[in-house]
Structure formats: structure tokens, C-alpha cells
């Protein structure tokens, strides 16, 4: 019965010739766009772009916590991610630190564990204001 | 089967479409406080080109997630903003979108969103690692051939001239003041020494099994290490040598100002740019002593931006860095000339977008990298299209966001290594790259039935939860990927509509259907509208495009006449094929192929199936606020770009 179902569905799909969408933005090349998403460039983009950036950074912070990355590896990965959002100087962008705090909170990391994270330890050594931002994000 | 055929055909009949234009919504379950949010399952109906069997997507808030086949064979999740997604599928590809709103709790909405984003981040991290391996392979191949230069991003923004830039001299003074007079010289020497000490260790991707649910471990890449080192060195050298920007790397937006547009900077713009320049100077002083291992590119970009901002202030004009990537696609001038009206509209749109962004950016209390980059991107797109129109030149187009990154060569010659000894390492890297690529192929595979856009979307929804019971509780039902023909997009939509907790369903008619429906409401003679719009020869909405293959009658908005129209389409396309046989020696079979393709898509119409709907390169529905502000130049030329 299963074989009949599969053959029938194969026939239906063959009628439709192909199943899934080819990438539109990279239809002519092997490279996909490096952007975090396809953009809708508009004057309201700044707010949306910042929200999307913070969302990805917090998601990354939660993921990276589990991996226990060294602060150097952490920063390299963070740079790659930030650049997809067209942010090169993520150190100078307060939303980076707020988002990291938010991500750690969402991942269920305790405050004590936050302070023990390699990257947070690195930040606390270099800039107390940034540590405050991480904690502000954590408590938001 | 008959009922299914009838169902498909019936959905698309003209009176129903008119009704659907009012965005028919049926409330099946009513609102509920327990499930205040909704995720939207979208079924995109078929058309020729790609996804002829339809497509599926999931919308959460403003973001749409869907799976696409990429040219390299990977089957990847893609994130698009809703406005962009709608413009591509609903407008340009002229497909009707059927949307089922599934009621979920705020917690489960967050869970699914988290799972989708996590999957996306993991996938992108995998692709980054593959690219790193490819870069290593290319680097070692070049070194074996004694090519000691590598191309690194951002270096191409700077001129090779020896004449110094006064703006960069100012930056140099600030760096020297902060870090001492030998800081730059010592920094460059240290980086050269560091390069010499980077071992040519081949990249090891790790032996653990690659999974699309686990973030991949970090990978040591020779190319990335060299690139980081050389970028830092290049940035310090540019400051030390006070290197100016290349003239062709700048866009003078004031030079193309239309009557009524600002050609000079106003007082507020001047003030904010001065503050931004001071911020950039502080960045240039801070980055060389930053602990982040990759401060080279941001420093290089800050130096370039500082020069552009200073030039804007000195000349009282808006001058921005060119943000197009080096591999931007090119639209030839002859293609631009094909439709001058569309070209003029694209120029006008990009101009308005740029002016909106400029106005919005300078109403804030300060500029930051995010909104300055929006200025660069919007100004760059406008300048490019305007140049194409005014000078009758080819133009560059690029999808996604743009950031100035023009690459340039840097030398590795300082590294005292006998490159001929690296051939065995090259072989190892090549093997590692192939192995990793193969592993990724099994991780992100495409299969017409078992792993397609419908099965993977369903799988990712289900995997957001611990158990089948949790899925049922969260969504109101459970469907196993592939069961009950759920690998077919329209079938999955039907199953979801019946089994899940549906708050409402919604149909967004394709662009042509919307336009024709609007004509029925605005024009008095409905018969005249029908007779004009039911065929491709007199349609005022649709103009035949090369990728659509020839056809005479639209069959997506009729039911009972469909086989008859299909028969006419078959004969019509058959004539093309016959004519194609005569022109075979001249066109190498192009016309015959077109005709055969047309016949292939006419054939299902004989049995009430419709696939072909026609498509567009550019549309502008000014009454549609969702897509009104969208960037359209890249999609407009998708069929004409090269390479």
C-alpha cells in the first residue's frame, strides 16, 4: 500500500515537474546573499534592522553558552554574525551587549554563570560599562 | 481524484476570485485568550519556473521562513521579510498565497521562532566553515603556483597613490597622540612577524557527526588567519601612509540631485555628520588596541568612512562610499533599454527611498553605523541606477544588504616559507573540503518526496517540541512529515487547515488576479474587461516574458473552460514548435524548445490542472502599503543579470 501511495504521489509531483523553490536571490550563482535576511530597504529599516540584529545576537549568545567557547572564538563568531547585519564595529554598539544579556537569560543561565562565561569575564576586565549593559539585558 | 481536480479548479474561478479580493477570512475557532498569537502557514500555488508543484512557508511576525534549493545543491532554510517574500511570490511570480493562521500561545510562538532561528544560525555556521575550507584550498593552490597575493575585503576602497589624505593625517595624529609615535610602525612590524609565525596547519573540520541541530565547533582556517592578520596590517598602513580613497569608490549623491532635492547639506546634517566623524575618529583610536582578534576590517572601514564624511563636510555635498560587492551582478545597457518606463520608475523609487532614509536618519539625535550604512546602501543603489539611465551604461545590482567591502590585493611575501613544500597540505585540505561538503550534503539534502519544502517545514515545526503530545497541545494537531501525501504543498495546506487549531484562513490573490478584479470594480463593462484580460495578446496587465513560454489564454482564473483554453494553448504552442523546426538552423532550436515547453505546460490544462500563470519582472501596486517601500532593482533584472 505504501509503495502504491508513493508511486501515485510521485506521479502527481512529476506532473507538476518540480517540487521546491530555487533560491531567488542566488539563482545565478552558488553564493547566497550574506545578509541575515533579504532586505526591504526603507526609512523604517533602522528600527527593524536593530531588532533583527538583537534577536540573532541573543540567539547566538544562548547557543555559544552551551559550547563554552573561548573569548577569542566567541568574538570571531560574533563578528561574522554582526557583519551579516552590516555591523562591523559591534564593540561600539550597545545593543550587542544588551542582546547578549537577553540571550543568556532566555537560555536559563543563572547570574553567577553569566559572570563566569569566558566572554563576559573578558568584558568585565576591559569595560565595566559593557558589563552593566549585559546585566541590564539579562534583567530586562 | 475527481473531487481533488474539482477542488483545485473551483478555487480559482472568477467570481470566487472577486470575492477573495476582499481578502476572504473565515473564522473557524474564534479568538481565544489562551492562544493570543498565530503562526501563519503559507501555501504558494504553482507556476512555471521553479517550484512548479507549489511551495510552502511559515510566517512568524514580520519574518517568513522557507526552504529553497540552492545552485550548489544544498537545501537551505531562508529568512525573508514578509514584504519581500510577498513581492517575489505573490507579485512577480504571480502566485496566489493561501494562508492558514494557526493559534498558538505566546510561549509556543517563541519556541517555534527560537527553533527556526537556531536552525538558521547552525546552517549558516556550517556554510561559513565550508567557505573557509574552500578559501584554504584556493589559498594553498595559489601558493603552490607562487601567487603570493590574497584579496581581502575593504582594501580596494583605498587608492594606490602616494599623495596623502589630510583627513587620514588627522586620524594618524589622533592615533599617535593616544598610543605613541612608534605605535603604527611597531604594530605593522609585529603583524609581519605574527604572519611569519602562523603555521600552515591544515584545517580539520572535526570528526564528530555533523548535525543540523548542533552548532558546529570552531574551525582553524589558514586563510582566515592570514586575512585577519593582513587586514590589520593594511588598516595600520593606510593610517600611517595617510592613504586617500579611490575616486571610483565614492558616490557623490549631490551631483545627481534632481530639481527640488537637497544638493547641499543642511545645518542639522552638517552637525550630525561632524559628531559622527568624531565618533569614527574615536573608533579608529580604539580598535587597534581592541582585544577582538579581527579588528582589521572594521578599522579599515572606519578610516574609509571618516574620509567620506570629511569630504561631505568640506565640500558641503553628500559623498558616500560605494557599497556594492565586488561580485555584484551586471545588467547590460541593452537590457535596460528594453523597458525605459520600468527603468525610470526604478530610478524614481530608489531616489525616493534614499531621500526618505536621509530625512529619517538626520532627524535622530545621532548617526550610528546602522543608519549611516542605510544611507550608503540607498544612496549607492540610487546613484547606480541613475548613472545607468543618464549615461546609458550597464548597472550593478545586488540582493540583500550592502556594506562597503571592495577587495584589494595584499602580499604574503613577508612569510619566509618555501611554498613548494605545501603540496601535500593542499591535498589534505582538498580532501577535507570534499569530505565536509559531502557531510553537509547529507545534513541539508533535497529530495523530491522525502525532503522537500513541505516535509522540512513540518519537521522543523514538530522538532520545536519534545513530543508528539506537546505538538498536539501547541498546535491543535500533529502531522508526521510525508504522511497522507503531506509532502505535496497543497495537500499539506489542506491537512493543516483541517487538523490544526486554525484561527482563520486567508487568500492573497496573485498580482494579475488582483489587478483584473480591481478592473471589474472600476470599469462598467465587465464583458469588455473579460475579453481584454483573458488572453495574453490584449491583456493590459501582463506582457509576455521570455521565461514564461508562449501561451494564449490564462487558465488560472477559469474553471469549466479550462480544458478548452488548454486545447487552444496546446495548438498555439504546437505552432511555435513547428515554426521552431523551420528556424532550427538559425536559432539552434531555441524557438522549438520554447514551443515544446509551452506545450508541456498546456497539457495539464486539458485535465483541469493549471500550472502556468505568467510572471513579471517589475510591478508597482501603489495601493499596497506592505510592498510599497520595497527595493526592487535586483529582482527586476533577475532574468538579465550576468555572470
Query: Do B52 and A92 lie within an 8 Å CB cutoff?
Result: no
Nearest CB to B448: which of A13, A56, A92?
A13
Instruction: Compute the distance between CA of residue A39 and CA of residue B369 in angstroms, rounded to an integer.
Output: 17
**Lowest-pLDDT choice from A48-57, B7-16, B75-84, B360-369:** B7-16
Question: What mean pLDDT is predicted for residues B5-15?
Answer: 41
**Lowest-pLDDT choice from A90-104, B166-180, B628-642:** B628-642
B227 touches chain A (CB under 8 A): no
* B628 pLDDT above the threshold of 70: yes
Per residue in B575-586, pLDDT tens?
A: 989 999 889 888
DSSP assignment of A83-96? HHTT-S-GGG-HHH
B4 touches chain A (CB under 8 A): no
Question: What mean pLDDT is predicted for residues B364-390?
Answer: 94
Q: What is the pLDDT of residue B30?
A: 45
What are the C-alpha distances in Å from B558 to residues B4, B15, B535?
16, 9, 12
Helix (H, G, I), strand (E, B) or coil at B505: strand
Query: Do A38 and B400 lie within an 8 Å CB cutoff?
Result: yes
All residues of chain B having their beta carbon less than 8 Å from the beta carbon of residue A87 are 369-370
Nearest CB to B369: which of A19, A25, A89?
A89
pLDDT band, residue B29 (cuts 50/70/90): very low
All residues of chain B having their beta carbon less than 8 Å from the beta carbon of residue A24 are 68, 88, 399, 635, 638
Question: What mean pLDDT is predicted for residues B308-332?
Answer: 95
Per residue in B141-152, pLDDT tens?
A: 988 888 888 999
The sign of the CA dihedral B309, B312, B318, B323 is negative
pTM: 0.89
Q: Identify the burial level of A17 via C-beta atoms within 10 angstroms of its C-beta, where 0-12 means exposed, 13-18 middle and 19 or more buried.
A: middle
The CB density around residue B240, as the number of other CB atoms within 10 Å, is: 17
Residues in A 33-92 with any Cβ partner in B closer than 8 A: 33-46, 48-50, 52-53, 55-56, 59-60, 63-64, 66-67, 69, 71-73, 75-77, 79-81, 83-89, 91-92
Asked whether the beta carbons of B566 and B555 are under 8 A apart, the reply is: yes
Asked whether the beta carbons of A60 and A77 are under 8 A apart, the reply is: yes
Asked whether the beta carbons of B544 and B536 are under 8 A apart, the reply is: yes
- If you measure CA to CA, which chain A residue comes closest to B291? A72
Highest mean pLDDT among B222-236, B413-427, B576-590: B222-236
What are the cell numbers at B167?
A: 583627513
Q: For the range B263-268, what are the long-range contacts, defined as Cβ-Cβ under 8 Å and sequence gap of 24 or more?
A: B263/B317, B264/B316, B264/B317, B265/B312, B265/B313, B265/B316, B265/B317, B265/B318, B266/B362, B268/B362
Most A CBs within 10 Å, among B53, B328, B407, to test the A interface = B53
A25 touches chain B (CB under 8 A): yes
Q: What is the pLDDT of residue B208?
A: 66
All residues of chain B having their beta carbon less than 8 Å from the beta carbon of residue A29 are 71, 327, 329, 643
Amino acid at each position: 500500500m505504501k509503495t502504491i501511495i508513493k508511486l501515485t504521489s510521485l506521479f502527481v509531483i512529476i506532473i507538476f515537474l518540480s517540487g521546491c523553490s530555487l533560491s531567488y536571490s542566488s539563482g545565478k550563482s552558488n553564493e547566497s546573499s550574506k545578509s541575515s535576511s533579504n532586505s526591504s530597504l526603507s526609512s523604517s529599516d533602522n528600527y527593524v534592522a536593530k531588532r533583527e540584529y538583537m534577536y540573532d545576537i541573543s540567539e547566538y549568545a544562548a547557543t555559544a553558552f552551551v559550547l563554552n567557547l573561548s573569548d577569542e572564538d566567541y568574538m570571531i563568531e560574533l563578528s561574522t554574525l554582526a557583519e551579516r547585519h552590516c555591523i562591523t564595529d559591534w564593540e561600539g554598539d550597545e545593543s550587542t551587549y544588551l542582546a547578549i544579556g537577553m540571550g543568556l537569560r532566555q537560555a536559563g543561565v543563572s547570574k553567577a554563570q553569566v559572570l563566569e562565561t569566558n566572554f563576559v569575564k573578558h568584558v568585565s576586565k576591559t569595560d565595566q560599562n559593557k558589563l552593566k549593559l549585559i546585566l541590564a539585558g539579562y534583567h530586562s | 481524484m475527481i473531487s481533488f481536480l474539482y477542488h483545485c479548479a473551483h478555487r480559482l474561478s472568477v467570481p470566487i476570485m472577486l470575492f477573495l479580493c476582499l481578502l476572504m477570512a473565515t473564522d473557524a475557532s474564534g479568538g481565544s485568550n489562551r492562544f493570543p498569537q498565530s503562526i501563519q502557514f503559507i501555501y504558494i500555488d504553482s507556476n512555471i519556473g521553479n517550484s512548479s508543484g507549489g511551495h510552502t512557508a511559515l510566517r512568524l511576525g514580520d519574518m517568513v521562513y522557507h526552504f529553497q534549493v540552492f545552485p550548489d545543491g544544498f537545501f537551505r532554510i531562508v529568512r525573508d521579510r514578509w514584504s519581500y517574500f510577498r513581492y517575489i511570490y505573490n507579485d512577480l511570480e504571480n502566485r496566489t498565497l493561501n494562508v492558514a493562521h494557526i493559534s498558538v500561545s505566546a510561549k509556543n510562538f517563541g519556541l517555534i521562532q527560537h527553533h527556526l532561528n537556531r536552525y538558521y544560525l547552525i546552517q549558516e555556521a556550517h556554510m561559513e566553515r565550508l567557505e573557509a575550507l574552500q578559501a584554504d584550498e584556493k589559498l594553498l593552490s595559489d601558493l603552490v603556483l607562487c601567487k603570493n597575493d590574497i584579496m581581502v575585503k575593504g582594501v580596494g576602497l583605498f587608492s594606490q597613490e602616494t599623495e596623502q589624505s589630510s583627513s587620514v593625517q588627522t586620524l594618524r595624529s589622533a592615533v599617535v597622540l593616544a598610543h605613541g609615535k612608534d605605535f603604527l610602525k611597531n604594530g605593522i612590524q609585529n603583524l609581519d612577524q605574527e604572519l611569519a609565525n602562523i603555521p600552515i596547519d591544515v584545517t580539520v573540520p572535526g570528526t564528530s557527526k555533523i548535525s543540523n541541530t548542533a552548532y558546529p565547533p570552531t574551525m582553524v582556517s589558514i586563510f582566515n588567519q592570514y586575512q585577519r592578520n593582513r587586514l590589520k596590517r593594511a588598516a595600520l598602513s593606510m593610517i600611517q601612509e595617510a592613504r586617500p580613497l579611490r575616486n571610483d569608490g565614492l558616490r557623490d549623491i549631490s551631483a545627481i540631485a534632481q530639481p527640488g532635492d537637497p544638493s547641499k547639506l543642511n545645518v542639522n546634517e552638517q552637525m550630525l555628520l561632524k559628531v559622527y566623524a568624531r565618533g569614527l575618529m574615536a573608533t579608529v583610536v580604539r580598535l587597534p588596541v581592541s582585544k577582538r582578534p579581527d579588528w582589521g576590517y572594521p578599522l579599515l572601514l572606519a578610516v574609509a568612512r571618516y574620509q567620506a564624511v570629511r569630504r561631505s563636510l568640506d565640500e558641503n555635498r553628500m559623498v558616500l562610499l560605494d557599497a556594492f560587492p565586488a561580485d555584484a551582478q551586471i545588467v547590460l545597457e541593452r537590457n535596460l533599454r528594453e523597458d525605459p518606463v520600468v527603468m525610470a520608475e526604478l530610478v524614481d523609487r530608489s531616489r525616493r527611498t534614499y531621500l526618505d532614509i536621509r530625512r529619517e536618519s538626520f532627524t535622530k539625535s545621532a548617526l550610528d553605523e546602522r543608519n549611516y550604512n542605510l544611507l550608503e546602501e540607498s544612496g549607492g543603489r540610487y546613484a547606480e541606477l541613475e548613472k545607468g539611465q543618464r549615461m546609458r551604461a550597464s548597472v550593478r545590482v545586488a540582493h540583500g544588504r550592502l556594506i562597503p567591502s571592495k577587495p584589494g590585493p595584499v602580499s604574503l611575501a613577508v612569510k619566509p616559507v618555501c611554498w613548494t613544500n605545501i603540496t601535500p597540505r593542499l591535498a589534505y585540505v582538498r580532501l577535507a573540503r570534499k569530505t565536509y561538503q559531502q557531510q553537509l550534503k547529507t545534513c541539508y539534502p533535497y529530495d523530491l518526496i522525502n525532503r522537500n519544502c513541505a516535509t522540512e517545514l513540518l519537521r522543523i515545526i514538530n522538532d520545536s517540541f519534545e513530543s508528539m503530545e506537546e505538538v498536539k497541545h501547541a498546535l491543535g494537531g500533529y502531522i508526521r512529515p510525508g504522511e497522507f501525501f503531506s509532502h505535496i504543498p497543497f495537500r499539506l495546506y489542506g491537512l493543516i487547515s483541517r487538523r490544526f487549531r486554525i484561527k482563520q484562513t486567508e487568500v492573497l490573490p496573485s498580482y494579475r488576479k488582483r489587478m483584473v478584479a480591481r478592473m471589474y470594480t472600476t470599469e462598467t463593462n465587465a464583458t469588455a474587461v473579460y475579453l481584454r484580460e483573458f488572453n495574453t495578446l490584449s491583456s493590459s496587465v501582463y506582457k509576455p516574458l521570455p521565461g514564461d513560454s508562449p501561451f494564449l489564454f490564462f487558465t488560472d482564473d477559469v474553471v469549466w473552460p479550462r480544458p478548452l483554453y488548454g486545447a487552444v494553448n496546446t495548438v498555439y504552442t504546437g505552432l511555435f514548435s513547428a515554426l521552431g523546426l523551420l528556424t532550427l538552423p538559425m536559432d539552434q532550436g531555441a524557438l522549438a524548445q520554447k514551443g515544446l515547453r509551452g506545450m508541456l505546460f498546456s497539457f495539464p490544462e486539458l485535465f483541469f490542472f493549471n500550472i502556468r500563470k505568467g510572471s513579471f519582472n517589475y510591478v508597482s501596486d501603489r495601493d499596497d502599503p506592505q510592498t510599497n517601500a520595497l527595493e526592487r532593482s535586483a529582482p527586476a533584472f533577475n532574468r538579465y543579470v550576468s555572470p
